[in-house]
Amino acid sequence: MRLADLAGLGRSAGLALMACMAAPQAVQAQAARPNILFILADNLGYGELGAYGGGATRGAPTPRLDRLAAEGLRLTNMNMEAQCTPSRSSILTGRFAIRSGTHSVPFGGVADGLTQWEVTLAEALSAQGYATALYGKWHLGSSNGRLPNDQGVDEWYGIPRTTDEALWTEAPGWSPEVMPPEQIMEGHKGEPSREVKVYDIAERRLMDAEITRRSIAFMEDQAEAGKPFFAYATLTQPHLPTLPNPDVAGRTGHGDWADMLAEMDHNVSQMLDAVDRLGIRDDTVVIFASDNGPEFVQPWDGWAGPWRAQYFTAWEGGIRAPFMVRWPGKIPAGRVSDEIVHGADIFPTLAVLTGAGLPHDRPIDGVDQSGFFLGGTERSAREAIPIWCAERLQTVKWRNFKVHFYEQETMVSPALKLGVPLLFNLYTNPREEKEKVAIDSWIIGPVLKVVAAFEQSVAEHPLIAMGTPDPYVPPQ
């Protein structure tokens, strides 16, 4: 959405987007490079874990994840992008996905995923001597040239796209001649990836246990070799179909969804136990997060806790996600913060903590949060987030306020462009419910500065269109 399209609101003076955010905290990289275990759940809502008000209230306590939350920093205002592909793109590139041609979950027939021109966190860490692995869901390209081992990952195993494709093999009328099934794949850097087997319902139930097993084996190998590692365990749960491992099915007595939650807690427990057993607890940054808000599709729909709506929307329920980070002796334990953070901040923050570099030839939207994470300041390094739903700049979040330029209730609802934006103070109206009188209209000023600044950056660095093939060369 262009600023000129915001009916009747005028054009604000252009400022650099970063000027709308606090200056990054300068933190020297540690002499000893920490390992990174990053566990990313798929469509886990804000309210699902015990530490966020769920757990037993969702049919299954989550004691190990709750303990992890208490062992470091737990964020209550971590914001991801509204869909799986864009959130994973912003995490790995430090750039809003609208810039990279990854603003929407792709369907067949296009060159889906990141162009090879993008620089990923895995590439930056690899250049620093890290061993890198991804096990699980990728969703940033589904053919050789755009798979994890083409983007800085030494080895990977998992699915290139998404879990709902596991339903195809049991769908009436489906045939592989009409639409080939999704394949579980594996690959190594410098080699083409290969297809391993069909990703069907049976394999869907087994996938997260295999992700856990492989992640542990990778950490064991690197610990034995004395090499720092980046283990990216991208779980497939609770994405639809939310079906637990057969070994867990029926354990809670509260159905598949609760069984899945118990399985997730168990899998995370196994990975954390491995970190302790290998004697690398104090040398390992552990992150657990979700990629966006909860499932919308019944009967697998999830829960966003106190927030409105689910993924694919700009409501808080679509973008607020659980996030916890532990680094014993570095990140203070038992800390909870409602400071605003975005998934794009993960790359620059980890770059500082590990001494990795960031590219300087493109806009990096993420900001370094290392000072905030390490307890050097109580304030986040940012105060604003533009929020896209697909290609629409739908909302801007600034401090504790939000301005919606479109209204879209669910992922299948039309996006209605508003003649007058909806304004919300999240402290007094956390459910983003309509008010008869907008008393906070002054926030339009700083919000439009954010929009204008982004437009200015796009004029200097044009967006990459979705479906752009390789090789991509940015225009001069």
Residue 178 burial by Cβ neighbours in a 10 Å radius (0-12, 13-18, 19+): exposed
For residue 348, list its beta bridge partners: none
Q: Which residues of 113-122 are buried (b: 16+ CB within 10 A; e: fewer)?
A: bbbebbbbbb
Q: Predicted confidence band at 110 (pLDDT cuts at 50, 70, 90)?
A: low
The pLDDT of 89-118, averaged and rounded, is 92
| Closest alpha carbon to 90 in 385, 318, 317 | 385
Residue type, 243: L
Question: HSE on the CB side for 207, CA within 13 Å?
Answer: 35
Average pLDDT (102-111) is: 81
Mean pLDDT of 220-234: 98
Secondary structure class of 53 (helix, strand, coil): coil
Asked if the model's pLDDT at residue 391 lies above 80, the reply is: yes
* CATH numeric code, 3-20+384-460: 3.30.1120
Say if residue 176's pLDDT is above 50.
yes
Mean pLDDT across the stretch 430-446?
A: 86
Which of 20, 84, 103, 404 is labelled catalytic? 84
Q: What is the pLDDT of residue 108?
A: 61
pLDDT at 476: 83
Calculate the average pLDDT of the chain.
92
| Residue ranges of the chain that CATH labels 3.40.720.10 | 35-373
**Predicted local distance difference test score (pLDDT) of residue 436:** 58
- The pLDDT of residue 419 is 93
Q: Could you tell me the CATH superfamily of domain 35-373?
A: Alkaline Phosphatase, subunit A (3.40.720.10)
Peptide bond into 238 cis (omega under 30): yes
What is the band of 107 on the pLDDT scale with cuts at 50, 70, 90?
confident
- Higher pLDDT, residue 31 or 377: 377
* Percentage of residues in the chain having pLDDT higher than 90: 90
Check if the beta carbon of residue 344 is closer than 8 Å to that of residue 90: yes
241, amino acid identity? P
Region 156-170 average pLDDT: 97
pLDDT at position 19: 34
Torsion from C-alpha of 241, 407, 82, 74, nearest 10 degrees: -100
Averaged over 298-304, what is the pLDDT?
Answer: 94
Of 24-28, 43-47, 112-116, 213-217, the one with minimum mean pLDDT is 24-28
Tell me which of 224 and 435 has the higher pLDDT: 224
Question: Is the peptide bond preceding residue 322 cis, with omega within 30 degrees of 0?
Answer: no
User: How many angstroms separate the first and last alpha carbons of the chain?
Assistant: 24
Considering the candidates 139, 239, 266, 342, report the single residue annotated as catalytic. Answer: 139
Active site residue 103: no
Average pLDDT over residues 93-117: 91
Distance in angstroms (rounded) separating the CA atoms of residues 197 and 185: 7
pTM of the model: 0.94
Determine whether 139 is an active site residue: yes
* Domain boundaries for CATH 3.30.1120 within the chain: 3-20+384-460
What mean pLDDT do residues 331-360 have? 97
Mean pLDDT of 277-293: 98
- Given a contact cutoff of 8 angstroms between Cβ atoms, the answer to whether 136 and 234 are in contact is yes
Identify which has the larger pLDDT, 375 or 435.
375
Of 325, 265, 315, the C-alpha closest to 294 is 315
Residue-wise pLDDT for 239-259, tens only, equals: 999 999 999 999 999 999 999
Q: What is the pLDDT of residues 351-361, one digit of tens each?
A: 999 999 999 99
Put residue 97 in one of left, alpha, beta given phi > 0 → left and psi -120 to 50 → alpha. Answer: alpha
Q: What are phi and psi of 160, to 5 degrees?
A: -75, -25
What is the rounded distance in angstroms from the CA atom of residue 199 to the CA atom of residue 182?
Answer: 6
pLDDT band at 26 (very low <50, low <70, confident <90, very high): very low
With 0-12 CB in 10 A as exposed, 13-18 as middle and 19+ as buried, what is 276? Answer: exposed
